[in-house]
Amino acid sequence: MISLIDLKRQYKSISQEIIERVKEVFESGQYILGPKVAEFEKKCAEYLNVKHAIGVGNGTDALVIALESLGIGKGDEVITTPFTFFATAEAIVRVGAKPVFVDIDPLSYNIDPEKIEEKISERTKAIIPVHIFGQVCDMKKIVQIAKKYNLYIIEDACQAFGAEFEGKKAGTIGDVGCFSFFPTKNLGGFGDGGLIVTDSDEIASKARMLRQHGSKKKYYNEMIGFNSRLDEVQAAILLVKIKYIDMWNRRRIEIAQKFSQELKLDGLVTPKKCNNFEFGHIYHLYILQHEKRDLIMEYLAQKGIATGIYYPVPLHLTKALSFLGHKEGDFEVAERLCRRSFAIPMFPELTDEEIEYITTSINQFGGSL
């Protein structure tokens, strides 16, 4: 069986480095906000070319803390996409604000910047563009809109560590950037982890306080915060893996190019890279579209090829967000994509033989009907 992502292969390639780094943590006796977290934060700030990097418990907490650091809360509105993981909207609701959805661009699957302005109201405080599947949004247009209406930009870059737009890394273009180190991410740990990045001293100071019960100094709490700290063990693991992130992302791009060149099934829609930057799309997932998606997925399962659906339900139609009052047809592009799209295996350790087997199997689907 070819998995969607095989984490064991990556571990085998760097296992000795991981074991040595983790052993250092165990022997140090410093397990919370220790030297490995500080080192990893410094390494991320250097890699991303940003002033501040703050490690937190997970990507969802990164979004919540970013929103709170900007003072966004009850009565405010935040514009985002309905085609993303639930955490994006969940974080907005968690701070008491209202998610306002904008449909997606049919080529990039990212929020359509041409539709943002019509959703801006007096209550709008921020835009959360999501760099979905590793492709950076059209940040030039989004930044222009944000400046025009004096809005914050919080980049949800949880699927895009290492991606670029016009010479800047994803997550560093807006006011705040948020990352997830969930194990399946391009840069993933061996558990949960997240990161907040910003060039603002004020935002960084608030984020650091919020991640640790609202305090700069232990027991001297200045605000109501969270218990959300990047684990020292995860930081040690990520310090090893960040050295390889560009190499792994390049391999993902190479695999994606092979898929796109070789897939010939009638009616199959392959991902479109919508910019010319080397890391403009780093293929966290490789997403296909077809009217007969479910049949293709069943066929591939019989061939020993794993597939997945990202995402089966757009956020505006989820039960948890029904209070927003949306109905089917409100965001047609996102809804259509949820009905038609599916992911095939994508991870740097895929072999050329496996890539050929996957593409051949998909191309042969038409003859199986």
The CA distances from residue 119 to 18, 71, 127, 246, 351, in Å, are 47, 21, 11, 37, 45
- Based on the residue annotation, tell me whether 148 is a catalytic residue of this protein: no
Task: Give the pLDDT confidence score for residue 369 in this predicted structure.
Answer: 57
Contact (Cβ atoms closer than 8 angstroms) between residue 214 and residue 225 = yes
Contact present, 129 and 103 (Cβ < 8 Å): no
Same domain, 78 and 194: yes
pLDDT score of 275: 86
**Same domain, yes or no, for 84 and 166?**
yes
What distance lies between CA 90 and its chain's CA centroid?
15
pLDDT in tens, 101-146: 999 999 999 999 999 999 999 999 999 999 999 999 999 999 999 9
Q: What percent of the chain has pLDDT over 70?
A: 99
Domain annotation covers residue 2: no
**Catalytic member of 36, 169, 185, 241:** 185
Residue 317 has pLDDT above 60, yes or no: yes
pLDDT attached to residue 368: 60
Domain identity same for 198 and 331 = no
Segment 231-256 mean pLDDT? 98
- Boundary residue ending a domain (239, 255, 281): 239
Q: What is the pLDDT of residue 361?
A: 97
Same domain? For 222 and 344 the reply is: no
Residue 276: the pLDDT is 86
At 85, which CATH number?
3.40.640.10
188 lies in the same domain as 292? no
Asked whether residue 56 is assigned to any structural domain, the reply reads yes
> Domain check: are 164 and 35 in the same one?
yes
Answer for the pair 135, 272: CB distance below 8 angstroms, yes or no: no
Is residue 325 pLDDT above 90, yes or no?
A: yes
Specify whether 119 is located in the same domain as 50.
Answer: yes
Domain boundary pick from 190, 213, 239: 239
DSSP secondary structure of 12-81 = HHHHHHHHHHHHHHHHHT--BS-HHHHHHHHHHHHHHT-SEEEEES-HHHHHHHHHHHTT--TT-EEEE-
- What secondary structure does DSSP assign to 128-143, as a single string? E-B-GGGBPP-HHHHH
Mean pLDDT (the chain) is 97
Which residues span the domain enclosing 142?
Answer: 7-103+110-239
- Domain boundary (219, 239, 259) is at 239
Residue 138, domain member (yes or no): yes
Closest CA relative to residue 243, chosen from 136, 350, 162, 134: 162
Query: In the numeric block, which tokens belong to residue 63?
Result: 């979004």
Q: In Å, how far are 5, 6, 49, 293, 294 from 308, measured between CA atoms? A: 11, 14, 34, 10, 10
The mean pLDDT of 14-42, rounded to a whole number, is: 97
CATH code: domain of residue 319: 3.90.1150.10
Domain membership flag for residue 18: yes
pLDDT confidence bin for 316, thresholds 50/70/90: very high
Q: How far apart are CA 16 and CA 21, in angstroms?
A: 9
Q: What is the 8-class DSSP label of residue 231?
A: B
Number of domains making up the chain: 2
User: Are both 277 and 131 inside the same structural domain?
Assistant: no
DSSP 268-335: -B-----S--TTSB--SSEEEE-TTHHHHHHHHHHTTB--B-S-SS-GGGSGGGGGG---TTTTHHHH
Determine, yes or no, domain membership for 252: yes
Average pLDDT over residues 1-10: 97
Q: Is residue 258 part of a domain?
A: yes
The reported pLDDT for the residue numbered 237 is 98
At 306, the pLDDT band (50, 70, 90 cuts) reads very high
* Main-chain phi, psi angles of 166, to 5 degrees: 50, 45
CA R_g for the chain: 21
State phi, psi for 45 to the nearest 5 degrees: -60, -40
C-alpha separations of 301 from 74, 282, 294, 307 in Å? 46, 26, 11, 8
**φ, ψ of residue 59 in degrees (nearest 5):** -65, -35
Closest by alpha carbon to 113, among 153, 168, 58, 56?
A: 153
Q: Is residue 21 part of a domain?
A: yes
Same domain for 177 and 294, yes or no, is no
Q: Is the pLDDT of residue 200 over 60?
A: yes
Whether residue 1 is contained in a domain is answered as no
pLDDT higher than 80, residue 271: yes
Spatial distance between the Cα atoms of 62 and 59, rounded to a whole number of angstroms? 5
Q: Are residues 253 and 229 in the same domain?
A: no
Residues 307 and 217 in one domain: no
Q: Do strands 168-169 and 124-128 pair parallel, antiparallel, or not at all (unpaired)?
A: unpaired
Distance CA(173)–CA(153), nearest Å, equals 8
Q: Stretch 85-95: mean pLDDT, rounded?
A: 98
Same domain, 135 and 167: yes
Would you place residue 366 in the very low, low, confident or very high pLDDT band (cuts 50, 70, 90)?
confident
In 3D space, the residue among 107, 166, 106, 159 whose CA is nearest the CA of residue 142 turns out to be 166
pLDDT above 90 covers what percent of the chain? 98
